[in-house]
Chains A and B, each alone.
Chain A
């Protein structure tokens, strides 16, 4: 496993380097540019601009700027926010908790419900339930997340008043139950797309597995249907799902941004939006890099988990 891990790590590092170059290019080659926020104000003269450029080191050749910035990334200096001078990483650190809370809880929910729907659809193929589930998944993938969020808020918050419409906790409360109440709606909304993905892929994975020879062998041994389903079929069908989940991190992050906006959830999505609207470029850049790192990490972890879970890979990778 050591060699495999090393190879994947190197691949990821290479991608990370490329990602950093792209992120740098986006910022510096865009017509806006790092100083556009100041120019937008319109009260600065040319020499002020020149002075600022020298101060921020923006008059150096681009490759030098890039290496400087990239070097900083590696050592942990991700720059400082233009707004409040806080280190970018610190700001991200303050907001990552709520986002992770949302992402993990919605993934678990999606796995459970989506998985069940997928298994049922595969076992009762072409039944009414199966058709309904397939169409339902398609629609779920097509609904704009924020619209679903607004609908859910309207129904459960405004009309029925069961659950709060936003934020992570009520001021002054913050108890576990209160936090749970606040988490429920955004979690469900974010889980919509993931559930659809899980149900579709789980169904096709189960269908693949159920037609395999080793299932026939298990039947010929007199194994009970439940045990065949769980111990033989599911154990194999879940393997591709690990890879799917790893690839899904990117979509999940995007969905989290939108969900956090609708529910005023104090996570990374909110931070990003605020920074974008305030033209706080160091934070925007830092977050682009950070989220890309999360995506890479997610896929790396998934590969790792897969190599442990599938004995065929575990052996090969030695």
Chain B
């Protein structure tokens, strides 16, 4: 039998109908559902919101500077330059959420590739790769992020790459563990004995069965990425003004803490709400997919 005729002998890829039990379990997890609603809301808020409100994030109005929320036309008040806080929150949300999603996507890509290769080939290759992962994990994340951030040209793209660089390791670990155990399963050995090539086995047989923990890790990674962006932006090495992000809004708010606390409260609440929601979703996914997680 030629390689092209090899039939996938893996556990049948789960059709939508078979995915229902997990979906049902997820829907029963109330905090996760709530988290999902909040995330959807925040996404709409950030991306579609600016069309709904009358104000702009960049129009400055010195006369209306530092207005309190709920006092006038500006629902969430204005900042020191008279810019509408609500609008800035929305535009900042676009950046922060995009960075979170993009950085996670990249980190999952890298992590899956590394984990796949390390788990599949084991031996020397696997050991070296995983020791490299372990070594990367020895650096405290903020220290690592700052050290590199200071060296590079700050831009949204570079921040995305940076955060991805600091967070792919967990995904790699998860994937490596899964692949290593799946590797010995009968369906993988059967595929191998039928002449399937390494790449084919990795991507068609093993990876689809490891999707559950990857999804959970990815969700938790998004939460972590948004948080990381806020940290480095707050410290001044992330997204630079004039591009707004929730993190640098907080950095600007620091000096006005005493007379304009809402400048700090608002972005902080946005971050906390979003990150908590992603964490809840991750928890819910973990519980829902648990029964199908191969251990």
List chain A positions with a Cβ less than 8 A from chain B: 14-15, 18-19, 22-23, 26-27, 30-33, 36, 135, 138-139, 141-147, 150-151, 153-154, 158, 250-251, 253-254, 257-258, 261, 272-273, 276-277, 279, 284, 287-288, 291-292, 295-296
- CB 8 Å contact bits of B240-267 with A (1 = contact, 0 = none): 0000000000100110011001001100
Whether A153 contacts B150 by the Cβ 8 Å rule is: no
Cβ-based interface call for B177 (8 A):
no
Q: Give the residue of A30, A143, A292 whose beta carbon is less than 8 angstroms from that of B139.
A: A292
Instruction: State in angstroms the CA–CA spacing of A295 and B141 once bound together.
Output: 11
Prevailing SS type, chain A contact patch? helix
Q: Give the residue of A18, A146, A272, A295 whose beta carbon is less than 8 angstroms from that of B231.
A: A146
Closest Cβ of chain A to B143, distance in Å, is 5
Whether B250 contacts A147 by the Cβ 8 Å rule is: yes
Whether B231 contacts A32 by the Cβ 8 Å rule is: no
Instruction: State in angstroms the CA–CA spacing of A42 and B35 once bound together.
Output: 50
Whether A142 contacts B257 by the Cβ 8 Å rule is: no
Instruction: State in angstroms the CA–CA spacing of A292 and B147 once bound together.
Output: 13
Q: Which of B121-170 contact A (CB under 8 A)?
A: 131-132, 134-144, 146-148, 150-153
Query: Which B residues lie within 8 Å of A30 (CB)?
Result: 148, 151-152
Q: Give the residue of B134, B139, B148, B279 whose beta carbon is less than 8 angstroms from that of A141.
A: B279
Instruction: State in angstroms the CA–CA spacing of A153 and B231 once bound together.
Output: 18
Cβ-based interface call for B80 (8 A):
no
The 10 A-B residue pairs with the shortest CB-CB distance, nearest first, are: A32-B151, A18-B135, A142-B275, A30-B151, A147-B268, A254-B142, A253-B140, A142-B276, A292-B138, A254-B140
Instruction: State in angstroms the CA–CA spacing of A62 and B276 once bound together.
Output: 44
Query: Which A residues lie within 8 Å of B141 (CB)?
Result: 250-251, 254
Query: Which B residues lie within 8 Å of A22 (CB)?
Result: 135-136, 139
Whether A15 contacts B131 by the Cβ 8 Å rule is: yes
Q: Give the residue of A14, A144, A158, A254 whose beta carbon is less than 8 angstroms from that of B268.
A: A144
Instruction: State in angstroms the CA–CA spacing of A151 and B264 once bound together.
Output: 9
Q: Give the residue of B137, B143, B254, B280 whose beta carbon is less than 8 angstroms from that of A288.
A: B143
Query: Which B residues lie within 8 Å of A276 (CB)?
Result: 146-147, 150, 237
Instruction: State in angstroms the CA–CA spacing of A135 and B237 once bound together.
Output: 32
Cβ-based interface call for B230 (8 A):
yes
Query: Which B residues lie within 8 Å of A296 (CB)?
Result: 138
Q: Give the residue of B137, B143, B272 whose beta carbon is less than 8 angstroms from that of A143.
A: B272
List chain B positions with a Cβ less than 8 A from chain A: 31, 131-132, 134-144, 146-148, 150-153, 223, 227, 230-231, 234-237, 250, 253-254, 257-258, 261, 264-265, 268, 271-272, 275-276, 279-280, 283
Instruction: State in angstroms the CA–CA spacing of A164 and B116 once bound together.
Output: 51
Residue ID in chain B nearest A17 by CB atoms: B135
Whether A254 contacts B153 by the Cβ 8 Å rule is: no
Closest Cβ of chain B to A259, distance in Å, is 11
Query: Which A residues lie within 8 Å of B139 (CB)?
Result: 19, 22-23, 250, 288, 291-292, 295
Instruction: State in angstroms the CA–CA spacing of A42 and B236 once bound together.
Output: 23
Whether A147 contacts B138 by the Cβ 8 Å rule is: no
Whether A273 contacts B235 by the Cβ 8 Å rule is: yes
Q: Which of B140, B234, B279 has the most CB of A within 10 A?
A: B140
Q: Give the residue of B134, B138, B236, B271 whose beta carbon is less than 8 angstroms from that of A144.
A: B271
Contacts known (A18-B132, A26-B147, A142-B227); A251 close to B140, Cβ less than 8 A: yes
Instruction: State in angstroms the CA–CA spacing of A288 and B148 once bound together.
Output: 11
Whether B148 contacts A138 by the Cβ 8 Å rule is: no
Residue ID in chain A nearest B227 by CB atoms: A144
Whether A279 contacts B140 by the Cβ 8 Å rule is: no
Contacts known (A142-B276, A250-B141, A254-B143); A32 close to B135, Cβ less than 8 A: no
